[in-house]
Structure 1
Amino acid sequence: MTIDELADHGVERMDEETIREFLETQGTGVLGLPTERLPYMVPLSYGFDGETNLYFTYVVGDVSQKALLTEETAAASFLVYSADTEYMWSSVSLEGIISRVPEREWDSLGDALEPLQRPEALNDASESEDVAVYRFEIQTQTGIRHAGTPPEMDPDSSEN
């Protein structure tokens, strides 16, 4: 079904402002990087500048598959979603250009570099291991959400 067909079931498109607000309140998602066979998918926390850029901090050891793949491509996708209940969920799919941020620019990024949430293990590792920062410049975005009422609570529902 298309998004328009799902509108009859309470699914709606998110406008740019709603997408921006959603990205500002989340902090984690799934990065998709191209490979020869299948996309390489990795969960990541992110910082957001409130405009068009997400920032990822990679903890890179001796070998980092995600850093290697990121360096080999310019294009990537990122999915941010939240599912509070089966009737309250949101999903934003982003496509963009990903590039390494030189260390000399990190301080100028300010709060945009800080994700809302980051696993404690990665916080600890980032203090003792090498890190790299990447900018994901959003080129296209699509957001959908369902903020409906369960059928048994909807006064207009035929199931009552």
Structure 2
Amino acid sequence: MALDQQTSLSEDETDTVLARHETGVLSLARDDEPYAIPISYGYDSDERRFYLRLVSTPGSEKRQFLSSTPRVRLVVYENEHGVYRSVVAVGRLEEIPRSELTVEHIEQYGEAKRPLFEIWGESKEDLDIQLYQLDPDELSGRHVDVDEALESS
């Protein structure tokens, strides 16, 4: 699939893809070590801001990566009816302390899908749930008609 067959999504198309989904892959890095995890998110298309609830244990690898305040990439993608779309958000996560939560934050986090506790080996009491927002420095989307790309190759 050639790059010239990909087309950038408009802001409205990008927002539509993000609103249609609740999950993506969050990538972090520390030094030369990458770390990527599936996450759920809420998205405010007016502010173009993401809201994330990240669950970890105090000594977990995820917590270690998050504590280094890395730049992150959030990737959301879909492949429907022969059309592939992807959106990439790049920026830094900002932790929102519970003491600073506003009504607007609570509304947005209410829209974010809750993490599935059943996937954790630890009891709920041992899990640390932290709230983050991502105001991306970069937000871009692309799409390609897979059938059309295959026909022209």
- TM-score, length-scaled by structure 2: 0.78
Relative contact order, CA 8 A, sep 6+: which one is greater?
2
Cα RMSD after superposing both structures: 3.0
Give the C-alpha shift of residue 38 in structure 1. Answer: 3.2
Tell me the equivalent position of 2:133. 135
Distance 1:43 1:15, change over 3 A: same
Three-state SS of the structure 2 residue aligned to 1:46 is strand
Tell me the equivalent position of 1:49. 44
Q: Which amino acid in the other structure matches residue 53 of structure 2?
A: T
Count how many residue pairs are aligned between Structure 1 and Structure 2. 147
Q: Which amino acid in the other structure matches residue 63 of structure 1?
A: G
Give the C-alpha shift of residue 117 in structure 1. Answer: 6.9
Three-state SS of the structure 2 residue aligned to 1:77 is strand
The alignment-based identity, stated in percent, is 23
Distance 1:67 1:118, change over 3 A: same
What is the distance in 1 between the residues matched to 2:32 and 2:147? 41
Q: Which ranges of structure 2 fall in alignment gaps of 5 or more residues?
A: none
For 1:17, which of 9, 12, 16 is the aligned residue?
A: 12
Give the C-alpha shift of residue 75 in structure 1. Answer: 1.6
Q: Which ranges of structure 1 fall in alignment gaps of 5 or more residues?
A: 152-156
Three-state SS of the structure 1 residue aligned to 2:135 is strand
Q: Which amino acid in the other structure matches residue 138 of structure 1?
A: P
What is the distance in 1 between the residues matched to 2:44 and 2:57? 27
What is the distance in 1 between the residues matched to 2:70 and 2:123? 24
Q: Which amino acid in the other structure matches residue 83 of structure 2?
A: M
